[in-house]
Amino acid sequence: MTEDIFRKEKIKLTPEVGFDLVGTDYFAEPGNQLYLVEHFEMYQDALNAKKEKKNPTEYFILYKGAGGESLSR
């Protein structure tokens, strides 16, 4: 059940174009654990911003794939 809620959250936050750097708040209620940090037009800029974070493992990059699916790295 929790994985399904997390997947729906990721889909909701995935941008139509570009790349979103998203953070995870593990103490928030399920369904509200993800939050937008910043939107980027280029993947490399999002990746650099993620690497600059104090704990980069708590952040990931969301984007739409060629088939319109929600992808993350």
Dump pLDDT digits (tens) for 34-68: 999 999 999 999 999 999 999 888 899 999 999 98
Whether the predicted pLDDT of 3 surpasses 90? no
Burial of 10 (0-12, 13-18, 19+ CB in 10 A): middle
Stated pTM of the model? 0.88
> Given pLDDT bands bounded at 50, 70 and 90, which one contains residue 1?
very low
Whether the predicted pLDDT of 2 surpasses 90? no
Asked if residue 64 lies in contact with residue 16, where contact means CB atoms within 8 angstroms, the answer is: yes
